Structure 1
Amino acid sequence: MHAYTRAIQFRGYSAALVLQFALCMCATIATAAKAQMPSAEFLQTAVQSDHRPIALFVTCKNMAQPLALVGQGKSSTGATLDVDTPVRVASNTKTFVAATVLRLWEDKRIDLDAAIGPLLTPAIDQLLQSGGYDTARITVRQLLSHSAGIYDHAADDRYLGLILSQPERRWTREDLVRLAVTWGRPLSATGTAFHYSDTGYILIGDIIERITGQSLGKAVREQLQLDSYHLRSTWWEIMEEQPSTAAPRARQFIGDFEASKLDASIDLYGGGGLAMSTRDLATLTGALFEGKLFKHPETLKEMLWRGTHKGADTYRLGVFVKTVNGQDYYWHSGYWGTVAYYAPATGVAVAGASDNQDAYRRLVKMAELAVGVVVLPNN
């Protein structure tokens, strides 16, 4: 799984043959799942047709060698984006924050159904209560499943303008929670409906730090044993040093604006925070859903718990789920233009990134093609 592969630049039919060979290594499982892998030509065209650089890394538990795909569109910076280039993965971080909580749960260090009030830093607990939240009723599980009704500061139209006006400001966790309680009220009664919330995961990050007595970055690294997976380009910004094995972090854009110049504290405390390459993201995604990050199989089952609240069919604990033709696919994305997918039926894990958010929709399409979400009847 960790073997390095040569990035394939799609400029000829020989690359297509290599891609076809790699995808066919999972063909027997895919046939059993009644899903067709895309033809080499189809995926080649998808990657090549985008006007932005895109890096896609595909691995499979039955694949002898993973596959690195690089579409060489016009870069915003003139720099090359490949599968070993670290990027800010933003909300893809949530999956591994949730997994860290599940590790603490299996070690009986946290109760998923415990009230969050006593677990939070007192100042943050008081902030939430002042904003109308009953922290004696909201549970850890509800934060993880986005069913706590927490207003999302990051989704507020004012947030982007605020951070763009202060690009070098070092925001604290308390600053961001204060924005949420100032700008909005509880979105629903706790435990009744899905409302995606970065603020909720900032609270999870606070709880992890208080339980472990470590920074969130160190806690995630130790609880998930990240160092055992030979991740060359993964670290928590601000909280950890960039590994010496990592290439320079990519310059990431929203249109013409270089978002990578914003201080990492705008998305650091649990809702985001990790910088990773697509190779590392696919590798760790595969390890998670193959149960390798946990001590017991029951822990992954608990992470995939489905609530009874409205919207529970789309999200578990730290991961979205999409069901196509009776098969589940687990996925998450990141705001700046990253995505990760896992197909349990085939064991295929895919991660992708672009250097500009305007390529996100096509990036998702390519990842879904590679993982088998999109079933192609004749290709």
Structure 2
Amino acid sequence: MPMTSSPIRRGRSLLALAALAAVTLTAGCGSGTSTVRGPSVLERDAAAITALGVTGVQARVITPDGRNLTATSGVADLNTRRPVSPDGHFRIASVTKAFTATVILQLVGEGRLGLDDPVERHLPGTVSGSGNDGRTITIRHLLQHTSGIHDDFPDYTSAKDFQQHRYDTYTAKQIVARAMRHQPDFKPPGKQWIYSNTGYTLLGLIIQRVTGHPWHEEVRNRIVRPLNLQHTTWPGTSPKLPQPHAQTYQRFKPSEPITDVTDQVSLVNNGEAGLVSTTADLTTFFHALLTGRLLPPAQLAQMKTTVPIGKQFEPLMPGARDGLGIFSHPLTCGGTYWGHEGGDSGWITATGTTPDGRTVAVSLSGVQAATPQDVLRISQAENTLVNNALCPN
């Protein structure tokens, strides 16, 4: 799910920490790095996020001339107080959708799919019941969240519930079957925009039907290996993150203590979420995607054809529009950037790339939010970091 609907779906209490910002900034080209002394905008913006109660922040910027800047703030572990690693792994949640959409558009470019193909053509009988009709919903609708398909995802309600079910898994077909018990959020398809994780679960199934391989294998073969994304993986049913990584935390109820939710199996990782990555790999991916290395010009143009997002998202994503697997956002310095957001299990991730190739990725760990106002403040602080990183002084 996007960070904007609920950045931490399984727990919503702001972490009551006096977050002193332990901030570092490094800069380098290639494999070498060197310390940059003195204040920077990236440092300041990372510290502003931890000051809101977020446990840790790591941010990375690739500049048009190839420099690689990183900043960290806060701590990676509340017990040991060890610093955040700029190379830490994290669950990227809905940022996975940009990878899934890229594979779909590659298949369109190869003539194996059409954006206006009805879902029924590739998954006969799957989208049906309760007023859902796969004959009227297209692949484009799924990609752009205009299908109207309702989300019915399992969730954790308490720390006890988390401990009991942290290793549960659900297949894509089970998730789709849950959604089909509900009326569509709107009809006809294409009339409105409502974010639908189930739509991307269906896209994962379509990739498997067309290619004969699971969606994550196609992501690996078409994106991860060609770009040498050595730290982007699909963990499957493993509850562990590769090292290094920060711990992440949630408070499921105001009356409960903070729970370490780092080790868990992603409840749903079927095309809508599930990948693990790093800021280095995400900046490489989005830079390659938006500069035309992964898609033919016609398919990249389709990806960047947008519609307005729902009004309920506007306060958190002001001015954003939705393409096919990526969002456009206005910049305060003029122009737009493209990227995707993601959030779940205490993590929030945001990415962005400008036309000149400047790219940013930021990961927040240990995010707690008790009220919609808390969510808004954290989201606005993250938006500020991304905007300032892409609008250099």
Counterpart pick for 1:365 among 381, 388, 392:
381
Instruction: Give the deviation of 1:286 after TM superposition.
Output: 1.4
**For the residues of structure 2 that align with 1:46 and 1:200, how far apart are their CA atoms?**
35
Q: CA RMSD in A?
A: 3.3
Deviates more, 1:136-145 or 1:272-281: 272-281
Aligned twin of 1:273: 274
Counterpart pick for 1:90 among 90, 93, 114:
93
TM-score by length of 1: 0.78
Instruction: Give the deviation of 1:307 after TM superposition.
Output: 4.5
**For the residues of structure 1 that align with 2:216 and 2:263, how far apart are their CA atoms?**
21
Counterpart pick for 1:263 among 254, 265, 273:
265
TM-score by length of 2: 0.75
Identity within the alignment, %? 25
Aligned twin of 1:298: 298
Q: Which runs of 5+ in 2 are unaligned?
A: 1-27, 252-257, 312-318, 370-374
- Which structure 2 residues correspond to residues 162-201 of structure 1 after superposition, within 5 A? 164=162, 165-182=164-181, 184-189=182-187, 190-201=189-200
Task: Find out whether 1:350 has 2:360 as its counterpart.
Answer: yes
**For the residues of structure 2 that align with 1:44 and 1:373, how far apart are their CA atoms?**
11
Aligned twin of 1:108: 111
Aligned twin of 2:60: 57
CA contact (8 A) 2:42 2:385 kept: no
Q: Deviations over 1:270-326 (max 9, x none)?
A: 1101000111112211111111112x2222111112258977962111112222455
Task: Find out whether 1:14 has 2:72 as its counterpart.
Answer: no
**For the residues of structure 2 that align with 1:272 and 1:200, how far apart are their CA atoms?**
12
Instruction: Give the deviation of 1:48 after TM superposition.
Output: 6.6
Q: Deviations over 1:252-274 (max 9, x none)?
A: 3223233333322x120011010
- Paired residues in the alignment total 338
Q: Which runs of 5+ in 1 are unaligned?
A: 20-38
Higher helix share: 1
Instruction: Give the deviation of 1:111 after TM superposition.
Output: 0.5
Aligned twin of 1:286: 287
CA contact (8 A) 2:322 2:328 kept: yes
Cα distance change on mapping 1:262 and 1:327 into 2, 3 Å:
same
**For the residues of structure 2 that align with 1:188 and 1:305, how far apart are their CA atoms?**
22
CA contact (8 A) 2:248 2:262 kept: yes
Give the SS at the match of 2:166: coil
Aligned twin of 2:208: 209
Residue type of the alignment partner of 2:305: W
CA contact (8 A) 2:77 2:246 kept: no
Give the SS at the match of 1:68: strand
